[in-house]
């Protein structure tokens, strides 16, 4: 797949599957746009805005339907998405995507108040994803090059669940994503 084809594929996938709900009060597309909007509002780099926009792309790549967590299934969407995007985007985009679930597990270990504030859907998926980290897992996570980027992405992810929030359209991110394509 060429880099141009990759971008077309991303947009076509959001057009086809972005309407899916995933246990929250917003669709996959609304969640992506909100998460990217929050990152942009905090003057994050284009790479972080792209990671925020694409962090749950893996949810759109499987055919298991909506709300699979309620069926007790963890599709490991973070890896599905990161693996799909890795040939066309830098590690600064792909690795925070790959680590955003681990960031949730880490934050639940580091801050019990964070765990209590998670939405019901996030608490359900957390159980399927291994629950809060233990001290050894947390120490290993802290050594990862993209540890702090993954934590920031996770915070934007948690924020991006606002029903009716106004955001830029997906098309408004096309030029930025095109400029970030590699290979």
- Cα separation, 59 vs 62, whole angstroms: 6
Average model confidence (pLDDT) across the chain = 88
Q: What confidence score (pLDDT) does residue 139 get?
A: 98
- Cα separation, 22 vs 122, whole angstroms: 10
For 71-91, the pLDDT digits (tens) are: 544 456 777 888 989 999 999
Q: Residue 105, Cα to own-chain centre: how many angstroms?
A: 14
For 13-31, the pLDDT digits (tens) are: 999 988 988 667 899 999 9
Q: What confidence score (pLDDT) does residue 1 get?
A: 64
Could you say which architecture CATH assigns to the domain 3-180? Answer: Orthogonal Bundle (1.10)
pLDDT category, 7, cuts 50, 70, 90? very high
Model-wide pTM > 0.85 = yes
Q: What confidence score (pLDDT) does residue 94 get?
A: 97
């Amino acid at each position: 797949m060429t880099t141009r084809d990759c971008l077309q594929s991303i947009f076509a996938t959001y057009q086809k599957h972005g309407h899916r709900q995933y246990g929250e009060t917003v669709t996959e597309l609304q969640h992506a746009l909100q998460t990217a909007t929050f990152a942009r509002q905090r003057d994050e780099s284009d790479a972080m805005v792209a990671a925020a926009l694409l962090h749950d792309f893996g949810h759109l790549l499987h055919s298991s339907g909506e709300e699979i967590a309620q069926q007790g299934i963890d599709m490991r969407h973070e890896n599905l998405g990161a693996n799909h995007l890795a040939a066309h985007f830098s590690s600064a985009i792909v690795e925070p995507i790959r680590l955003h679930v681990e960031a949730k597990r880490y934050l639940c270990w580091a801050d019990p108040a964070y765990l209590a504030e998670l939405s019901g859907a996030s608490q359900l998926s957390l159980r399927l994803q291994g629950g809060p980290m233990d001290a050894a897992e947390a120490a290993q996570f802290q050594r990862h090059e993209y540890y702090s980027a993954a934590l920031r992405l996770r915070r934007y992810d948690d924020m991006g669940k606002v029903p009716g929030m106004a955001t830029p359209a997906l098309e408004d991110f096309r030029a930025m994503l095109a400029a970030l394509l590699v290979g």
